[in-house]
Each structure stands twice: as C-alpha cells, then as structure tokens.
Amino acid sequence: MVHEERLENGLTVLVQEVHTAPLASVWCWYKVGSRDEGPGVTGVSHWVEHMNFKGTTNIPRDQVKGIIEQFGGSWNGYTWIDQTTYLETASADALDRMLFIEAERMARCLYDPADCESERTVIISELQGGDNDPEQRLDSEITATAFKAHPYRHPTIGWLHDLTTMTRDDLYGHYRRYYVPNNAPRVMVGEAHTAAVLRRVREQFGAIPAGTPARRSTTVEPPQEGERRVHLRKPGTTAYWRAVFHAPAFTDPDFFPLLAADAMLTGASGLNIWSGGGVSTPQRSARLYRGLVNTGLASSVGGFLAPTAEPFLYQIAATVAHGQSIAAVERAVLEACERFAADGPADGELDKVRAQLRARFVYDGGSVTDLAHQLGYFATIADWRDWLTVGDRLAALTPEAVHQAARKYLQADNRTIGIFEPVAGGNEAH
C-alpha cells in the first residue's frame, strides 16, 4: 500500500513499505524538463541537473558520492522531456543521509561560476559525442522535424548555440524557479516504517519555503498534414531507418491500445524508461521481427512508446542488415503497418501480447528502485495512482480498440521518416 502525505509547504511524499530486503530507495522528482525550455535556454534543465551534483552549503562537492557509497549504495539522476529526478538506493540505515542529501539539493546548491563553466565544457562534449553517434543524431533530427510548435522538439541536452551562450544566472534562476517543495514529489520505497519516514521527511524538508513553481505552458502541436522526411548522410558502416508517428499522451484512452499495437508489431514494451523497459525486447513472434530480421533485411527492429504528459511520438526503429537496401527495409515496415491498420489483430493475437505486456508490467516494478521510480515518474506526468491501474487497463483492451488506434495513428500523413545513410566521404545532408 502506498501512503501519501502533503506537507504544509506543499511537498508531496509517497511511502511504500517493502520488507523483503534491508534496502531503501529514495527518488526526488521535479516537474521540469526540456518541455519547460524556450529558445535561448534549451538544455538548461539537464545542465541544472549536472550542477546539483556539485556540492551544497553543507556538503562539499567531493563528499556527495561518498555519503551514499559508504553504505554500499548507488546514486544517479536524469533529465527528460517532462521531469528531472535524483535517486539513492542503499541500506535502510542510510535513509537519514539520503533525505539530507536531497533536502540540501533542493534548497542549498551553490552554482559556483567556475563549476558552471567547467560543466559547460562537459555538456558540449557530451552533445558532440551524441552528434557523432548515428542513431542519437538521427533520433534528435527526426524529433525536431516531427514537431513544429511543441517544445518536445528540443533535445534534452539542448542545442549547441544555447549551450555556448547560457549564463550562470540562467542556470541558477531555473534552479530557484522549479526546485521548490510544491513542484517536487518525494518517493521512498523499502525497509522502513511509514510513520518514521514521514517524521524524518518533515525534519529535513519541512522548513524549506514553499516557493511558487512556474506554471507549465501547454503548446498544442498542429495536426501533421503529410509525411515528413529526414535523410542524413555521414561517414559510417551501418544504415539506420526510423519512422515516428504522433502518439497520444499516457492519460489518453488510445495509449494502451497503441501500446498493444506496438507489441504486435515489434514486441512487448515496458513502461519503465529508467530500466530500459521502454524498448521492445526481441520477440520472434512479433510481425516486424518475422518480416525483417527473419528475412535478413534488418539485424534488429524495435518500437518505443513512452508514457508522457502530452502527446509525444511512437517510434519504429530498424538497423539495416549489411548488403540490404534502406528502401527494402522501409517498404517492408510500411507495408506491415498499412496491413495492420487495415486488418487489425489476428485471432488470439491480443491475448498473447496482453500476457507479454502484463509480464513486463510486473518486471517494471520488480525491485525497490524500479517501484520507486514508477511511482514518482507517473506522479510527474499524471497521477501516481495511474501506475497502479496499468494491469486493469491492459485487461480491458479489446481487439477493436487496438485496431482503431492503429488506423488512427499509423497513417502516412502522421509519420516522419528518418534515414541514416553511411557514406565513404565526409558529405552530410538532410
């Protein structure tokens, strides 16, 4: 059972006791990501995340790592389109230290100008490394092409020009705007009693001023009116093909039918983007596996439909097998999508993928770390209780709903095609 409490300063606390091992996982979430960035400051949320590992008023930068590792634990963080999060998982007797770190991170990060500049170099190097990775570059370009208005079009790491011009004041202002208690769900799962956890949270966070979180703007992406294309030509050895379709937000009734359609096409995907569950695992019964991998056209094929706060993208990705043509892979994928949109699921196909999806759902919450992630993640895009309804929503799926979602979303006018074509020289175009 999950216990929810809201402190006077607006901090939401979620606690779930799990007494299977002497471990506790603390996840501290902030409702801010790349969707909250505008021109000139793209990448600021990710940069702020980096800065918040650089020490606080009461934690020297060289001690942040050691505080958790002395308890045999792990720590990390990430930024994506809808959220930023930080985590620590360690022995249960480290709970006080984990909460102390996160209270410090919320209220007392330093943003030393020299650290801001050194981290600028780190992040630009990370961006350039991604640009040199064909798949990362293709994913960035295809997303920016699929969206014309919505800030989901910006890469989480930001655009190079913005990373070179942002200032320390830009970073610190963003930090102070969004890192406030009433914009920050806290999740603890593991070996601890709820009353004791809540007492410790009040002690660490209760005195932090509530603040006023910035209102999230909503940009409605205009309907796409025709296929779009991105074609990159760069030195390399392997060709990659992508198709993305505008897809519903997690709370939309079409989300789970489209998730089932993806399971039939590419293999059952999980909903835990932290553990990699959002990428289809190779399943030989999936239609596109049979049509591309078994025939030798592609060395791999997969799908990705992430639960998001606002409508995002459903992606099909294929790695073209050596000696095969990109055009042949594209033809095979699009014909399979068109056939599925026309005919819908085969007899018994939904029962099979429903079982696979339910198994992935169980796996997604299989550890205290994963369970804490899922509760917090869904608290940032909708409501944490939505995670608990996933099993029921899978059980309620019908072949008709899956077929309707396929017809609605797997349309030529709704897709953007992305191609990475390796070339021998240094030419590049798109």
Give pLDDT tens digits for 246-285.
999 999 999 999 999 999 999 998 899 987 655 555 678 8
Contact 421, 230 (CB under 8 A): no
* 197 in the same domain as 119: yes
Predicted pLDDT at 68? 83
Radius of gyration of the chain (CA): 22
Predicted pLDDT at 61? 81
Domain of 363, in residue numbers: 228-423
Cα distance between residue 36 and residue 47, in whole Å: 13
Would you say residue 64 lies in a domain?
A: yes
* 295 in the same domain as 201: no
Tens digit of pLDDT for each residue in 39-62?
999 999 999 999 999 999 999 987
* 131 in the same domain as 11: yes
Would you say residue 222 lies in a domain?
A: no
* 281 in the same domain as 236: yes
How many Cβ atoms from other residues are within 10 Å of residue 248's Cβ?
A: 22
Positions in the chain short of pLDDT 70: 276-282, 425-430
* 385 in the same domain as 333: yes
Would you say residue 89 lies in a domain?
A: yes
* 237 in the same domain as 193: no
pTM, entire model: 0.95
Predicted pLDDT at 282? 61
Rounded to the nearest 10°, the torsion over CA 286, 290, 296, 300 is 0
| Residue at which a domain ends, from 171, 205, 239 | 205
* 266 in the same domain as 128: no
Predicted pLDDT at 212? 84
Q: What is the CATH number of the domain that holds 126?
A: 3.30.830.10
Q: Count the domains in the chain.
A: 2
Predicted pLDDT at 88? 95
How many Cβ atoms from other residues are within 10 Å of residue 217's Cβ?
A: 9
The answer for residues whose C-beta is within 8 angstroms of residue 73's C-beta and 6 or more apart is: 88, 89, 90, 91, 94, 98
Would you say residue 216 lies in a domain?
A: no
Q: Which amino acid type is present at position 138?
A: L
* 267 in the same domain as 123: no
Shortest CA distance to 247 belongs to which of 301, 315, 303, 302?
A: 315
User: What is the number of helices (H) and of strands (E) in the chain?
Assistant: 16, 11
The answer for residues whose C-beta is within 8 angstroms of residue 169's C-beta and 6 or more apart is: none
Predicted pLDDT at 425? 65
* 198 in the same domain as 246: no
